[in-house]
Structure 1
Amino acid sequence: MSNKPDPADELAGTEQPFVQHLMELRDRLLYCVYGLAVCMAVLAIWPGPSGLIDLIAVPIRAHMPPDAKLIAVGVFSPFFVPIKVLGMAAVLMSLPWLMYQMWAFVAPGLYSHEKKFAMPLIVVGSLLAYIGIGFVQFFVLDKMFGFIQQFTPASVAATPDIASYVEAILSLYLAFGLAFQVPIVVILLVRLNMVSIEKLKEFRGYFIVLAFVIAAVVTPPDVISQLALAVPMCILYELGIWGARWFTKASAAPDAPPERTDPS
């Protein structure tokens, strides 16, 4: 049996030793750390940890008395909470760089027609994450705290602890940032031949139920935040089906037969 690489396969003969893969992984992880460090340094200078705290506190302070402030119950909260917020902001700021490093690690194993569409997916995935987090910051939190404050008795002063507040909103940022990746997940599942577009259409009703279940689990127990997560997920699922149909055709190998699609 001949061991010569297949000339029709552009990846034939490009296999690398396992140790070289580990070295490449190490380098990419170091690049991620360097990117995070640079973003943390920039954010530490401007707007600074205090400025970031003031920014994320805008939604809840809008529903508090004018002279009211968030409180720090823990002894070390005034120090650790701003550092935690600074780290999370650095991750968000460097997200395209982090995703690029992931792509650069797997790129040698991709065909040229697949590499051409990897960067658009990285850009769109980062943009969707930013849209999801912005949706939380500028819409969900305001409506959610307005709804919750309606149930606060007049004899009770609503002065939340800064540590619990930051933990709650960071979990929402993460939940919405990941939920808004639904179109990317759908496109990749179809492109990797793990599921067909017809099966995704048949699963549409189950996904709607699943979206509301996920929203009920990861969001606070108020109907506004649950609807704010479940409804966009359903819309993004439909966009993912449309995008998967286009992306599969556009990124197919030059000699690959066109994929059969459901005429409906």
Structure 2
Amino acid sequence: MLVEAPFEALSSEGETSVTGLSDTTTLANGVKMPWLGLGVWMAKDGEEVKRAVRAAIEFGYRSIDTAAAYANEEGVGQAIRESAFPRDQLFITTKVWNANQGYESTLAAFEESRKKLQLDYLDLYLIHWAVPGRYLDTWRALVRLYKDGRVRAIGVSNHQPEHLEDIMAHSDVTPMVNQVEFHPYLTQRPLLDFCRKHNIQLEAWSPLFRGGDLLTHPVITTLAEKYGKTPAQIILRWDLQQQVVTIPKSVHRERIKENAEVFDFELAEVDMDQISGLNANRRSFDYDPYNVNF
């Protein structure tokens, strides 16, 4: 039996008037997922990631996103236990890495991640990248885990419409989430529209872009001054108003707090359009979702 967590949900229409960290989107299977969470990519295992997770929970975050490839699942799990926060109030995501894809190997990788996190179940399990010739077998394993009740929701990461269509053609379970690089330099509008059409929740990683130049772009800094917010807060609010789940990463306590303070204002439509107009199909990294050879 799947475990249901008692989050407060937005309306079924996905309204953008998100008012706090406890607000959620409802996935296709009815599971509720927080709109904003903490990403822990590049956070060192041990004290660094533990401090970040503890700070996030203290400031009201209920969603933590990690991955086997981040090599910090043990620290994330320790921080969750040390926080003494009720498990059923948290939403924990991890991902199967490329080298472990395949049916049996994915089942084994899931169990290894679960043990490192020291959790009885996971809230969301994702295929990290669409490895050619392997992601369909990997998806079969995720469906098995889902139907067995070991994970409450399943999805993918870095998958494009062609990958999603392939999965949907070969399975009776559609991915519930697609986590992709998404920010004003890479708006991925066709993918966003595809996911909306098929009731797949889009989730943004690297929402602030790597390198920092997005945070100093004149459009962003002008809007930050207009709304009395930081550039990062403007961008995160832009995500939320597009109904995109967002997981900014940070290991700095003050930044984690700042990233959560995006629920007391709303961007005007004209300002949303300005930000979207920055799209340049520019990625933070050289990883190609159509050529996954890593």
TM range (shorter): under 0.3
Which protein shows a greater Rg? 1
TM score, norm. by length of structure 1: 0.21
TM-score by length of 2: 0.19
Pick the structure with more helix per residue. 1
